[in-house]
Amino acid sequence: MGRVGPPATVGPRPGHVPCAVVPNDRKDTNVRDAAPELSQAQRRAVGELLRVSPIADDLASRFAQAGFTLALVGGSVRDALLGRLGNDLDFTTDARPQDVLRLVRPWADAVWEVGIAFGTVGCRKSAPAEDGVGDRRDYQLEITTYRSEAYDRESRKPEVVYGDSLEEDLLRRDFTVNAMAVALPRKEFIDPHNGLSDLAERVLRTPGTPEESFSDDPLRMLRAARFAAQLDFTVAEPVRVAMTEMADRIDIVSAERVRDELSKLLIAPQPRKGITLLVEAGLADRVLPEVPALRLERDEHHRHKDVYEHSLTVLEQAIDLEEDGPDLVLRLAALLHDIGKPKTRRFESDGRVSFHHHEIVGAKLTKQRMTRLKYPNELIKDVSRLVELHLRFHGYGTGEWTDSAVRRYVRDAGPLLSRLHKLTRSDCTTRNRRKAQALSRAYDSLEERIERLKEQEELDAIRPDLNGNEVMEVLGIGPGPEVGRAYRFLLEMRLEKGPLEREEAIAALKDWWADQSSA
């Protein structure tokens, strides 16, 4: 949208603008003729707010009857202005958490207190669709008491201090585009820090000084990078400078909070923009040091590509191959797939540069970093496995793999095969068109062979031709380690030769057992 100036000072206080929306009876679902000072962005917000009015107005009335105020705030207002308000709504109030619980428990369909130590009560409320037709809509609400929070130098958790006014609450918000509110139920737009103007310019500034903001909560430095990636915003120069000068303050934030911000950044539409900001500000050195380490010094003859830029390009190319929305596993693997290169770089006697076994080293580093960031074990396992396997295809050469090698490729990838396809294709960033086309054709050939073998042999469920019970019956033994060894022998034979007739499998098992016995 075009540049929009700050709202006109209409109403009781500067920064407060009546939104001129329809009354609460909801008989007219169209926006009334707005006042001249109402900007295009505010008109869009009005339309979004009308959609959530039944929920917001009902809740606000309960608070007003109890003598409390309520306002839609933060990301909800920002997203309404961008025309992308979802069903997750953020509110702020002068009511203390126990008062909020008392008011919402009889009203909401479900209530949770996970964030109550930080002044936040969550709840779920179902409401009819705005047109009155179709299924009911579920809303997830978070209601937070006016507050200010700050870290001390020794604590990993913020100290929460409750505030007494909406203006005070907005001042302690992270960025001006998140420091706007709509007071309910009168729907008065409140923007004391010109967030609407910054939203129009797509720039991130802080309500107070960046130094004060980041001192209050150092995680906001990561959040700046996340919003840059998520909303395609530019970070104002004073904010960027403060991020660089205060990067060491991020050390005080818990690994879980850092992890969550990094994950949100990575699944954003433009993660490269956020990662670049983290690297340039020095924050990545502290939260994801393996990524800036990819900026290897180029040797005087430029004998290898820029691994850092290559990794960011692989990430972007992997995103282009996603089919069902953002895939955190794939994106992490794409970003981290070459992090073993700095530790394995060697200058060979013939002038080449080698990175032998960097995929193995990279998988270990991936596991270590993701463990420090407290990622779930299953996610760590999947990402590190993809990093380990990302070079496997390059042994395919001109399509000379045996059926046995193809089976092992599928077996080793397991449920990650589809992601491995995407990662391997994304890993081709050569500017040599002929080389790129040759690699693409080779991988097309491999995928076609996999599909043919799948049809013939049920590759997705490769298992021996005899199960454990049949092994014990054929060999005349009971449960024990011998059964496991026999099972592994049959599995290797299945991978090497494909499916066998039952009689063939039994004969091979007996021959193997005889060899074991004689040994």
Share of the chain above pLDDT 90, in %: 50
Tell whether the model's pLDDT for residue 218 goes beyond 50: yes
Tell whether the model's pLDDT for residue 3 goes beyond 60: no
Omega before 185 cis (within 30°)? yes
Confidence bin at 476 (pLDDT 50/70/90): confident
Confidence bin at 11 (pLDDT 50/70/90): very low
Tell whether the model's pLDDT for residue 143 goes beyond 90: yes
Q: 180 - beta bridge partners? A: none
Asked if 106 and 55 touch (Cβ cutoff 8 Å), the reply is: no
- CB count in 10 Å sphere of residue 440: 12
Asked if 174 and 204 touch (Cβ cutoff 8 Å), the reply is: no
Asked if 275 and 265 touch (Cβ cutoff 8 Å), the reply is: yes
**Strands 88-93 and 137-145, sheet pairing:** parallel
CA-to-CA distance for 333 and 383, rounded, in angstroms? 5
Nearest CA-CA partner of 480 in 467, 468, 463: 468
Tell whether the model's pLDDT for residue 452 goes beyond 70: yes
**pLDDT tens, residue by residue, 105-128:** 999 999 999 888 889 999 999 887
Tell whether the model's pLDDT for residue 296 goes beyond 50: yes
Tell me if domain 1-201 and domain 202-288 are identical in fold: no
Ranked by mean pLDDT, the top range of 206-215, 388-397, 426-435 is 206-215
The pLDDT of residue 142 is 96
Q: Which class would CATH give 202-288?
A: mainly alpha
The pLDDT of residue 306 is 84
Nearest CA-CA partner of 143 in 100, 189, 174: 100
Tell whether the model's pLDDT for residue 196 goes beyond 60: yes
- Mean of the per-residue pLDDT values of the chain: 83
The pLDDT of residue 27 is 32
CA-to-CA distance for 443 and 437, rounded, in angstroms? 10
Confidence bin at 450 (pLDDT 50/70/90): confident
Tell whether the model's pLDDT for residue 34 goes beyond 60: no
CA-to-CA distance for 149 and 324, rounded, in angstroms? 38
**293 or 509: which carries more pLDDT confidence?**
293
Tell whether the model's pLDDT for residue 351 goes beyond 70: yes
Tell whether the model's pLDDT for residue 170 goes beyond 60: yes
Tell whether the model's pLDDT for residue 299 goes beyond 60: no
CA-to-CA distance for 375 and 287, rounded, in angstroms? 13
- CB count in 10 Å sphere of residue 222: 26
Structure tokens that stand for 268 in this block? 């954003």
Cβ neighbors of 190 (< 8 A, separation 6 or more) are 15, 16, 17, 71, 166, 167, 170, 180, 181, 182, 183
The pLDDT of residue 404 is 79
CA-to-CA distance for 494 and 11, rounded, in angstroms? 79
Alpha-carbon torsion angle 363, 367, 372, 375, nearest 10:
120
Tell whether the model's pLDDT for residue 281 goes beyond 80: yes
Q: Is 114 exposed, middle or buried (0-12, 13-18, 19+ CB in 10 A)?
A: exposed
CATH topology of domain 1-201: Beta Polymerase; domain 2 (3.30.460)
The pLDDT of residue 14 is 43
Asked if 163 and 169 touch (Cβ cutoff 8 Å), the reply is: yes
The pLDDT of residue 2 is 35
Say which DSSP state 397 is in.
Answer: T
Q: Enumerate the H helices of 156-218 as residue ranges.
A: 166-171, 195-201, 210-216
**pLDDT tens, residue by residue, 42-76:** 666 666 776 777 888 899 999 999 999 999 999 99
**Which string of DSSP letters, residue by residue, matches 275-307?**
HHHHHHHT-HHHH-TTTGGG-PPPPTT--S--H
Confidence bin at 202 (pLDDT 50/70/90): very high
CA-to-CA distance for 167 and 180, rounded, in angstroms? 10
**Span 19-37, average pLDDT:** 34
The pLDDT of residue 9 is 33
Tell whether the model's pLDDT for residue 149 goes beyond 70: no
Segments making up each domain of the chain, as ranges: 1-201, 202-288, 317-323+331-461, 468-518
Cβ neighbors of 29 (< 8 A, separation 6 or more) are 22, 50, 130, 131
CA-to-CA distance for 370 and 372, rounded, in angstroms? 5
pTM for the predicted model, two decimal places: 0.77
